[in-house]
Structure 1
Amino acid sequence: MHLPTRPLLGALLAALLTSAAAHPATDPSSATRAKAARFWVDPNTAAARQAAAYRAQGRTSDARLIDRIATRPQATWLYGPDPGPTVKAVTTAAQRAHRTAVLVTYYIPHRDCGAYSSGGAPDAAAYRRYIDSFTAGLGTRGAYVVVEPDAVAATLAGCQGADPHERHTLLAYALSRIAARPHTHVYLDAGNASWITDVPALATALRASGLNQADGVALNVSNYATNTVTSAYAHRLLTALDIGAHYVIDTSRNGNGPYTGPDAWCNPPGRALGTPPTTRTDDPTLDAYLWVKHPGESDGICRGGPAAGTWWEETGLELARNAKG
């Protein structure tokens, strides 16, 4: 489960009151838009609060380490029934800082496939209301949006409780509504390089979910595969899709690649921060490296970690300490 901590809406709204005047985004051509973004840094993440606490305690070396997380853009996850107010606050703060927000929709029915709970929206109608609230919150400010981590790949893997046809229909609804907002780039999650090895089947499921309405796919969310492995997988997938799609990679924790021991997905030791978020890439089909998963958040209670989505300072320090550069 990828559930992160909820952004503090009150703190964002307070920040807006003292921020600079709005700077409306321009709408350059699709060939240049993906390379123009400068992503927004949330000043009130758990990592930012941890760095401040370390400084107050005189732990300046540890504070500098956590700054490697706190000062870099991370996605805002929206997992409640009415995300609009938070989406509006985040995108307005980003716009006023002349930056672009990164958002994640995470409310598909049966989100957790019975592994932890039913998760997500109670039914299809509630999910459509969630998407309508999300898009209303976007307004015309735009964002990079990753749609429903795990949803397509988990369906192919036999997600308990999820009806494939309904899920594909809901994902298509989400993509159509979000992609219609100006200045917005939208990427449907497609899992990671080690999950769905039947690439043609994954391509079929993505097309059934309305991928033609999106900019492309998101890969490696909350995972550890290297950029090289993920890009090779992406190009196999893009070839199978054959619709001119692009991709983005979650590089938040892949600096040392995947762990080779047991339970490699859950709080693996010895990992490192990956490529900082940027739209500067050497691949014309790779639109951005993003930090979708928040580095330093627990994957679950394995290996002594706290509940999934909870800030865990020990792993935050480890990821930062092991980072290259």
Structure 2
Amino acid sequence: MSPSPAPRRLRRALLSTVPTALAGVALVVATLAATGPRLAPVAFADPSSPDPFAGTVPWVDPYSDAARAAAAEPDPWRRAMLEKVARGGSADWIGDWTPTPRQTVAQRVTQVTATGAVPVLVAYNIPQRDCGLYSAGGAHSAAAYKAWIDEVAAGIGSRKAAVVLEPDALASIDCLSATDQARRYQLLSYAVTAFGRYPAIATYLDAGNAGWQPAFVMADRLKKANVASARGVALNVSNFGWTTDNIAYARDLSARTGGKKAVIDTSRNGLGPAEGFEHWCNPPERALGPLPLTPVPDDVVDALLWIKVPGQSDGECSRAEPSAGTFWADYAIGLAARAAY
């Protein structure tokens, strides 16, 4: 896969309209505060610790966008395709659109844990998010971001969960000034530390994908963001890169970061990446990839996951698509129809 001509952007996930106790959430973030005391290593930060997903089942939200669309779909074939999407599940995203993050996260973790699954939360609230593009937003100050991170971490507490920390924040950091880059590293480090205070949380710093930054560049950025205190990295989030390419990239990063582990997003990579301008943004003719927790014969990879919500738009993409984060049933149906299962 050749390098992307422009950073791929993430959809702005929206809370569903079901009651708060069932509302979608997200999380990621954790790191060592540059000015605070260094804490003892946490359980999942040690690469030799057990895979947090071992012996668990995928989480499937019965009230997901795809499930609700399927329930309302009168056409049998379209309903079957939407049900296929719904059965795969996905991570929960939390950001500046989420009211009362501590309570929302706590309720979601309780709900997911009761099924025997590991909650997978994406924290997506870094200041100057997405370089001001389709998923622009984020906390309005460093202090606000730190307070938000503390709330999310407290919502999980002592329970097991996986946190994907700030998709795109490191891979796209070139868009920031030197001063803002330094602030971003400090905030990511703070987040890693905040989550690290709870030993049952496995934190994965987003590291882009195999076609974005060279491994030596990304490894340097990860170290500045305190990957040493995280479980590892998240790859291919909201992207379409082949699983095999991202496994190879994960191994390269692991060798450069002290054996750190990886999770890989396979929600839309069943036919690999598309070609052409903005191939990261709602590209046509793509397919669902391997289901969450599909076994991988590679000890660097903790899990394949659906981190992106399949069917949610990446943005308007200069065409007539829905805005970022809006569920797009026709796109979801296409992903399912072209899947290999």
In the TM superposition, residue 9 of structure 1 has moved relative to its aligned partner by 7.3
**Which of 116, 119, 144 is equivalent to 1:101?**
119
Counterpart in the other structure of 1:47: 66
In the alignment, what sits opposite 1:31? Answer: 50
Q: How does 1:258-273 map to 2 (within 5 A)?
A: 258-273=273-288
Select between 129-138 and 174-183 the one with higher mean Cα deviation.
174-183
Letter in 1 for 2:86: A
Retained in 2: the 8 A contact 1:110–1:160?
no
SS at match of 2:55: coil
What secondary structure, in the 3-state scheme, does the structure 2 residue paired with 1:254 have?
coil
- Which TM-score applies when normalising by structure 1? 0.89
The residue number in structure 1 matching 2:299 is 284
Aligned mates of 2:322, 2:55 — CA distance in 1: 38
1:8-60 CA deviation, whole Å, 9 max, x = no partner?
37535279xxxxxxxxxxx9992253422323222211111111011xx2x22
Deviates more, 1:81-90 or 1:100-109: 81-90
| Structure holding more helix per residue | 1
**Counterpart in the other structure of 1:159:** 176
Percent of pairs with identical residues = 42
Higher normalized contact order (CA 8 Å, seq sep 6+, divided by chain length):
2
Deviations along 1:195-251, one digit per CA (max 9) or x if unpaired, are 112x2221111011010111100000010000011111222222222x120111000
Q: Secondary structure at the match of 1:7?
A: coil
Distance verdict in 2 for CA 1:116–1:61, change over 3 Å: closer
Maintained 8 Å contact 2:10/2:324: yes
For residues 251 and 274 of structure 1, what CA distance do their matches in structure 2 show? 5
Residue type at the aligned position of 2:290: T
2:244 match: 228
Report how many residues are paired. Answer: 308
CA RMSD in angstroms comes to 2.2
For 2:15, the equivalent position in structure 1 comes to: 7
Aligned to 1:76: 92
More displaced stretch, 213-222 vs 261-270 = 261-270
* CA contact 2:52–2:302 (8 Å) conserved in 1: no
Amino acid at match of 1:8: S
Partner secondary structure for residue 132 of structure 2: coil
CA gap of 1:186–1:8, structure 2 versus 1, over 3 A, is same
> TM (normalized to structure 2)?
0.85
Q: CA deviation at 1:153?
A: 1.0
1:147 corresponds in structure 2 to: 165
* Structure 1: 5+ residue stretches without partners: 16-26
Counterpart of 1:132 (choices 144, 150, 158) is 150
Residue identity in the other structure for 2:287: A
Contact map agreement 2:169 2:206 (CA 8 A) in 1: yes
Stretches of 4+ aligned residues off by more than 4 angstroms: none
**Counterparts of 1:305 and 1:7 in 2: how far apart (Å)?**
20
1:66 to 75, 82, 98: 82
Q: Deviations over 1:156-209 (max 9, x none)?
A: x33369711111111011111113224221100000111112x22211110110
SS state at 1:223 partner = coil
Give the corresponding residue for 2:32: none
Which aligned pairs between 1:176-325 and structure 2 lie closer than 5 A? Answer: 176-197=193-214, 199-241=215-257, 243-278=258-293, 280-302=295-317, 303-325=319-341
Equivalence for 1:86: 104
Contact 1:37 1:279 in 2 (8 A): no
SS at match of 1:128: helix
Task: Output the CA distance in 2 between the equivalents of 1:96 and 1:12.
Answer: 17
Change (3 A) 1:162 1:65: farther
